[in-house]
Every structure is written in C-alpha cells, then in structure tokens.
Structure 1
Amino acid sequence: MRLFMAMLYTETNTFSDIPAGWAAFREGGYSRNHASADPQSPLGVLLAEWRRLAEADGCTIIEGPAAMAQPSGRTVRPVYEALREQILDDVRAALPLDIALFNLHGSMAAEGYDDCEGDLLAAVRAIVGPDTIIGAELDLHCNVSDAMLTATDALVAYKEYPHIDELERARELYALCRDAAAGRVTPRTGSFDCRMISLWRTTEEPMRGFVQRMQALEGHDGVLSVSFGHGFPWSDVADVTSRIWVITDGDQAKADRLARELALEIYALREETRPMSLDIDTALDRAAVCPGLVVLADVADNPGGGAASDSTFILQACLDRGLRGVAIGCLWDPQAVALCQEAGVGARFNLRIGGKMGPASGMPIDLPVTVRAIQRDHAQTGFAGVHTPMGPSAWIEAEGIDIVLNSRREQIFSPDAFTSIGIDLAVRRIVVVKSTQHFHAAFAAIADTVLYVATPGAIAPDFAAIPYSKREASFWPRHPDPLRLNDAA
C-alpha cells in the first residue's frame, strides 16, 4: 500500500488579537518532509507513530509537510494558502495513493477561511478521487463540519481532556484506515450535533464514565470508532458546537442511531458536567485553609486556547494579600526575560511584567525583583514525554512570590516547568498555572487540592456570553433545552 501523511495543526481563537503568521509556525514547528524523524517533538510524535506502524505493514510511505503553531487568532491568509498548497502539491506528486492520513486540530480558521480543515480535506479528496481512504486525527476541541465528514472516510478525535491519548487515537485511526484500504471494513459515519458549547473535564465523573462508555462500544457489533468532539468555544464560525460521531462497518443506520443515542446521553448530563470555576478571592480564601499544596488553574489565560498568558489578575491579588510561598507560571513576557538576561542572576532591579496584550491581560505590574535563575532554552515535559520548548526564560522573586517568565508562549503541562528552572514546589503553598485542564495530568500527583479560577482573561468560561455572529442555531447554556426534548416529552 502507498500511504501519504501530513500535518497542519493550530487552534484558532477568532476573538484573539494575536495573528498566526510565518513566525508562529516557525516557532511552533515546520518540516517540509521529515517531521517523523523526531518522535520526541510535538511536530513529529504522531507522524513517527504512523510511520512505525506503516513500515511494519510493508507500506510505501510518502511524508508531506508538517506545520503547527501555538493557538492564537486567525492564521494569516497567504500563510494558510501556502501551507495548504504545499500539502496538495505533495499529494499530487505521491499519486496513486491507497491511504492519506492527516494530523489536524479541527478548529483552524484563517483570514477568509472559517473551516481550514474542511477546505483542505475537500481539496485532497478532489485530487485523490473516491477510492483513496482519507483519515484524520483531530483534537478533542474540534468544530467538526459537514465538509470534513464528507471528504473523509474516518475522523478520530482524542477522548481525553487532558489529551493523554494522542498516540492511542493515532493507532486507532491507522488500523481503521488500513483495514478499509484492504477491504476488510467499510466505514460508515453517523453524527449528531449536541447543540452544546462548554468544556468537559474527563478526569471527573460523570465524564469519566462517559468516556469509558464510548470505549466499551468500540470493537463490538460492527462499531469501529466513537468520538465526542467537544468543540472549541472561542470560535466565531458557523460550525462551533459539540458533536458525537460514530463509525460502523457498513451500517449507516446503526451509525446514525448510536450517534444520536450517545448525544442524548451527554446532553442529559449538561448541567451535571458544567465546569465550575471560582472567582479569584474565593479561590484564594479556599487555598488559605486547604492543607498541603494547592494548584490554582488560571483557566481564562491559557495560551493553549489562544490567550496571551500574560494576565496579572491573580498575581496582583496575591500581592495585595501579602501572600508568601506562591509560585506562578508562566507569564509570557519576552521583553522582561531579555531585561533579566541583561541584568544577570542575582541582580535586583525594578521590572514591569505582564499586562501587555490588552484588557484581557490586566494592568502591567511594576515590582522590585531579584533574578534567581535564567535558562536560555527552558522546556517542560508534554504529553507522551514530548519535549516542549518554552524559549529563554527567567525565574524572578518579588515580595516573596516566585514567577516564571517565558519568551515562547506555552501553557503549563508539567511541574518541571517550575522545577527545572530551580523552583522547589515541595516548599510552596500555592502554585498558579496558566492552563485550563492539561496541567491536571501531571500536577494531580503532587497537588493536595486543585482549584479552577475564572479570571477576566481572554478565554473566560462564560459560554452563554460569547458574542457569536455566525452560529445560527440556539445552544446550551444560552438556551436551557436547545434540542427541545422537554417539548417532545
């Protein structure tokens, strides 16, 4: 078999003022045809797994471009079009193909394109024809469109939030597409729009049980794959929603029926699964009386959702209370990092930090700081042990609070974002992380208490108030029952 694989991956917050241009993709990662050579990089981890599996099956592998950028605002139009054309050129050169696999996010938007994945996959289908099996692995926070479903034979989304199952889903997609290309299965997809916009933490019940329910269905009675795309709420596009889709072996009616059944199950849990977050003062009051290490998640300033990661709201509240034993990271402030590098370790000087990207970042804070450490190539451990660069970074101490400043915008995944620069979390009372949920996979083992905090940041979790202009249908939580099930009863 001849297998083509490529990657185009970024999550678009259409309300963000941070554009994604060439610099964003160069920093996030770009490779014309060789990303799989580095399986420990975010760019290469999935492609390397597909290569390993395909080589074991004796496939001829053609690797196309791989590009990714940190979540931000819309991708600059010429950049998206250039990356798309590179992929399409390589697809044409690789013909004929049995399988084409893509690592995509599922909520990428560019200037002039609200559905980059649908646009790309439809163009691939037009080139390869109806007989090539096209599959794509998607982030759980995908906004799945009809164009994406129509152009592909199989879409598979992560099931876990935090996304600890990327490799498992890569293996699932590969096996499904290989078997389809060999004629062993005939994928048929049924989908159902849940008309809900929210975030679902799969570390908690009842979501934990729902994920297990999806997994228990797979591999039995002709069910090949079940996905729940949570959607990416901060996308002002027509397809922003949560969606269930089911892939069966040749049974369209069953796929449609099971997708609806599962969608109604998760819909019935909408109030019970609503993510709860505290305001800053309540969170700090609670942290003051909790024993052991308390982790506060600054959910609204998560760069993994397109936020700047430079908001100062929690930092200012900690300063106002005179708190000690607090570590905060990472504040994205390349200018402040450069000043710390210039001053050197041990230097004491006045430094303005944070609050640089607009109202959602809060006000900048002027502090007398001591530079405790500098790392020119700071990094942390991401999912699947992936090396996640954070760029030149500095650990500063100010009024008893330890702050990690970085120059490459990245959310917190692991405690080594703090410990590898020298901060001992074992002697801290509170750790504030710029992350919505991905931190949980590694921090749950060391935290005595985890609290989610809703600051006035760029991705504040007030889903009913997001100012959509392109979504037509009503949705929960703006409407209590958009599927009108109570009317049917």
Structure 2
Amino acid sequence: MKVLIGGLATETNTFSPIPTGRTSFEEAMATRDATQQPPNLFSAPLIEWRRMAEDRSWNVYESLCAFAQPAGITIRSVYEEYRDEILEDIRREKPDILLLSMHGAMIADGYDDCEGDTLTRARDILGPDAVIGLEIDPHNHLTEAMLAAADLIVMYKEYSHIDSPDRARELFTLAADTAEGKISPVMREYECGMMLMMPTLNDGPAKDFVTAMKEREGQDGVLSLSLTHSFPYGDHPRAGMRMLAICDGDADKAAAVAEEFGRKLWDVREGLLIRFASMEDTLTKVQAANTGGFVLADYADNAGGGAPSDSTFVLQEVLARGMTDVALGLYWDPQLVRTCEEAGVGANLRVRIGGKICEASGTPVDLDVTVRGIRHGMTQFLGKTEMEMGTGVWLEADGVHIVLSTKRTQTFSPNAFTDLGVPLADMKAVVVKSSNHFYAGFAPVAQEIIHMATPGTMPADVAQVPFRRFHAQVWPMVEEPFHARQ
C-alpha cells in the first residue's frame, strides 16, 4: 500500500488588511520534511500518518507541508504553486491513500474554495478507487466540492485545537480500513442554521456535545462525527455551522445522524454562546478585586483569526486608569523588537507600540520602557504541538508588562510570558490577544477568564460583520433562520 501525505493551510479572514503571500508561509512552514521537525498544529497529522503507515510497513511519500498564520486572501500565484507541487507528487506517485492536512477556510485570489479545488484536482488524477482523506479545522466552510472529492473528512473536535494528532489517527484508521475493503464510508452534512465560535473545553453544553459525538462513533455503523463551528470572518456562501456524519455504506443513516446531532445543537444553542463583557467593565472589575489571576481575552485582535495583533485599545485603557501588575501580549512588532535587541536587556528607551497596521489597530502608544527580557527562537505550546513566535521581548513601563514578538501569532500559552521572565504569578491580570486557543494553557493558572468585546478586526458580535456573499440568515442574527430563508 502506498500512502502520500501533505498539507496546505491557512485561515482566510476576507476582511483582514494583511495579504497572505510567500513570506507568510515561509516564516511559518513550507517544507517537504515536516515529519522530521517539531510538530505544529498542521504538521502534527503528517507525523502521525507517517508513523502509522510505517508501522504497517507501507510505503510513505511525503509531499509539501505549507501553512501560514491566518490573514487576508492568499496571493493567487502562491496558492497555485504550492497546490501544483502537491498535485505533481500525486501524479507521479499515484498513491492508494492520499491524506491531506488543510484548514477548510482558505481563500485565494480567484479561488473561493482552495481545499475543494485541490481535492477535486487530486481526484481527477487518482480516479475513483484511491482513498482521499482530509483533516481540517472546525472553523471551516464545508463545501460541496470537498464532500464530492474526498472519501473521508475529519475535523478537530476541540476548540482550543488541542486534538489535531488525535483526529489524524482517527482519519488514518478510517482511510486504511477503506483501502482494505473493511468499510465503505458515506458522508452527509446538515446545515444547523447557526453561526458562532463554540469553546469546548470548559464545562457546559459544548463539552457535552463533543462527548456525545465521541460516544456515538463506532456504534451502529457510525464511523465519524464532526462539527463545522463556522468562521464568521470569512465572507463565503457556505459560512455557518454544519454537522457532518460518516456512516458505513448507508447514506440515509448518515443524513439522519447528521440531522439528529444538528438538531441537538440547536436545542442547546443559548448555552453555546461566549458571554462577552465590555473592556471598560472588565477592567473596572479587575481594579476592584482584592486578588489577581485574571486572564482577559482581547478577542478582536486575535492573529489566529487574521487580525493584526497590534491594536492598542486595551493598553491605552490600562495606562489611562493607572493600573499596574498587568501583562499584555503578544504584540506583533518586529521593528520594535529589533530596536530592543540593539539596545539590549536593561536599556531604558522611549518607544512607540502598536497601532501600525490599519485603522482597527488604534493609535500608537508612546511609552518610556525598560527592556526586561529578550529571547530568540521562542515557541508556545498548543496541546502537544508547538507554535513558533520568533524573537520575544519583554518591556516594562511602570508596572505594565508588554510582550512583543517578531512573528505574528496569537497568545497560546503562559510560557510566551514566563520564558521571558515575566512573573505571571505576581500579575493582577494577563491580557492575551486570542479568542479561545489560550484557554487550555491558561485555565489551570487563572482565577477567572473573561472574554472582552474589544474593538478590532474580529468583532465579537457577528451581526457587525459586513457580509456580502454570506446570506447571514442564521442564529443569533435572526431568531428563526429556517423560516427567514423560505
């Protein structure tokens, strides 16, 4: 049996001012030996697939694995070159099993559905007999082209995405069983009529829903269940929540199970919403508290959703209130990092922080700071994977602690601060530029986690997103979405 593995992934925020080009991929990952490097979110599946195939003494061919931090639309020539490199490998090797790690919400100039386009071309090369499996992020636009071209689609179940290796093992087992004639997978999806970002790790109906999916798998012909959470910041006709069921040889059952779980989700919809607090009310609460340990999410400036990660709205409010023992990060500012490197640890500088990329970044903040720490080659933990952040710098301005990075990335883990020496245990509050991927890392050390509805390129209220192509007739934007679209 011959297995070909590869990956091409980014999440496209169609409202982001930052184009996704070659440099964006190369500074994250663009390599043909991903399985020989430390695992990140998108390369971890390839590592699992190689190991599992080699355990069976199958032949493994490793193609390109390229991913970029979420941002705006991908440059057409860059997408086409990376896609064609993978397709040429497929054409030459003609594998029995093709496994790809992608995102599911990648849009390039001229291509609304990069995943569907790549899979369709791969299917044309391989014909109907080869097995094609796809692993994707749950914040995807599950398209007809993806469903038509792939035999198997498996999504991460958790948000935060700590389970990409687990889902890779699930997909490999299903693909191997399909290739060996043990199962005949059939996929069907159900549109749920909702759009929201649904954290699954904290106790509540979302966590219970994931548990129910896992318990149903392997029962009565149900092979796999996945939920598209939606990605509200990609203006795509297929945006919105969808339930996907894969059953063994029974399309009617797959359709029924997808609808069953989709309706279960609808019934608990109120409990799925993230409850946002205003930035002003949150900081007032922190100031009034007698204890520390608050973790505050700067939701709208999350690089993991395509935001610049340089907005200054929270920083300005913290400074205006005279707050101290507050740490904030990660600010994407390679130019300022270079200045700090030149000056060295211990230097006192007058610096300009943030507010560089676009109007939604706010205005720059000028501060007198001390360079407290500099560290090269930093990574953050996301489950069992590592995400690069480049060079990190810790600045202090009268009890306000600011962490910069050379690579634009959201805040995943406390070690983004502590590896620089920031004493998080002494902080009254930590402000993280992230939507929810920080949760797994910070929950064990937080007294309370608060998601703030901050200004920025990712508004917490999806009704504020200026859709043009998506119909937007979904809950919570409308109370009865199915009636509204009749």
Range of TM-score over shorter length:
over 0.9
2:89 maps to what in 1?
Answer: 90
1:120 maps to what in 2?
Answer: 118
2-structure distance, mates of 1:379, 1:472: 39
Q: CA deviation at 1:39?
A: 4.1
Amino acid at match of 1:414: S
Q: CA deviation at 1:344?
A: 1.6
Asked if the contact 2:42/2:101 (under 8 Å) is kept, the reply is: no
* Residue-by-residue CA offset, 1:68-95 (whole Å, 9 max, x unaligned): 0000001000000101100100000001
Amino acid at match of 1:213: A
1:160 maps to what in 2?
Answer: 158
**1:473–1:375 Cα change, 3 Å:** closer
1:185 maps to what in 2?
Answer: 183
Asked if the contact 2:44/2:164 (under 8 Å) is kept, the reply is: no
2-structure distance, mates of 1:173, 1:190: 16
1:362 maps to what in 2?
Answer: 362
1:243 maps to what in 2?
Answer: 242
Asked if the contact 1:14/1:234 (under 8 Å) is kept, the reply is: yes
Q: How does 1:399-478 map to 2 (within 5 A)?
A: 399-472=398-471, 474-478=473-477
Q: CA deviation at 1:460?
A: 1.3
Q: CA deviation at 1:327?
A: 0.6
- TM-align CA RMSD: 1.5
* Residue-by-residue CA offset, 1:206-227 (whole Å, 9 max, x unaligned): 1111111111100110000000
1:306 maps to what in 2?
Answer: 306
**1:192–1:42 Cα change, 3 Å:** closer
TM-score (norm 2): 0.97
Asked if the contact 2:307/2:456 (under 8 Å) is kept, the reply is: yes
**Aligned to 1:443, what secondary structure does the other structure show?**
helix
Amino acid at match of 1:187: P
Does 1:272 pair with 2:287? no
Amino acid at match of 1:142: N
2-structure distance, mates of 1:169, 1:378: 26
2:285 maps to what in 1?
Answer: 286
2-structure distance, mates of 1:67, 1:254: 36
Amino acid at match of 1:316: Q
Q: CA deviation at 1:252?
A: 0.7
1-structure distance, mates of 2:247, 2:386: 36
1-structure distance, mates of 2:230, 2:424: 34
**Aligned to 1:66, what secondary structure does the other structure show?**
strand
Asked if the contact 2:162/2:382 (under 8 Å) is kept, the reply is: no
2-structure distance, mates of 1:474, 1:374: 48
Does 1:375 pair with 2:381? no
Q: How does 1:3-402 map to 2 (within 5 A)?
A: 3-31=3-31, 33-42=32-41, 44-95=43-94, 97-204=95-202, 205-290=204-289, 291-384=291-384, 386-402=385-401
5+ long unaligned stretches in structure 2: none
* Residue-by-residue CA offset, 1:337-382 (whole Å, 9 max, x unaligned): 1111122211112110001111211110001111111123232223
2-structure distance, mates of 1:200, 1:420: 30
1-structure distance, mates of 2:115, 2:42: 17
2-structure distance, mates of 1:379, 1:485: 46
5+ long unaligned stretches in structure 1: none
Q: CA deviation at 1:41?
A: 4.3
Q: CA deviation at 1:271?
A: 2.3
1-structure distance, mates of 2:338, 2:37: 30
Asked if the contact 2:135/2:154 (under 8 Å) is kept, the reply is: yes
2-structure distance, mates of 1:262, 1:7: 29
- Aligned sequence identity (%): 44
Q: CA deviation at 1:276?
A: 1.2
Q: CA deviation at 1:269?
A: 2.0
2-structure distance, mates of 1:452, 1:441: 14
TM-score (norm 1): 0.97
2-structure distance, mates of 1:461, 1:382: 23
**Aligned to 2:161, what secondary structure does the other structure show?**
coil
Q: CA deviation at 1:468?
A: 1.1
Q: CA deviation at 1:393?
A: 2.2
Amino acid at match of 2:228: G
2-structure distance, mates of 1:37, 1:376: 21
Amino acid at match of 2:71: S
**Aligned to 1:58, what secondary structure does the other structure show?**
coil
**1:21–1:310 Cα change, 3 Å:** same
Amino acid at match of 1:404: V
Q: CA deviation at 1:400?
A: 1.5
Amino acid at match of 1:19: P
Asked if the contact 1:30/1:43 (under 8 Å) is kept, the reply is: no
State the number of aligned residues. 484
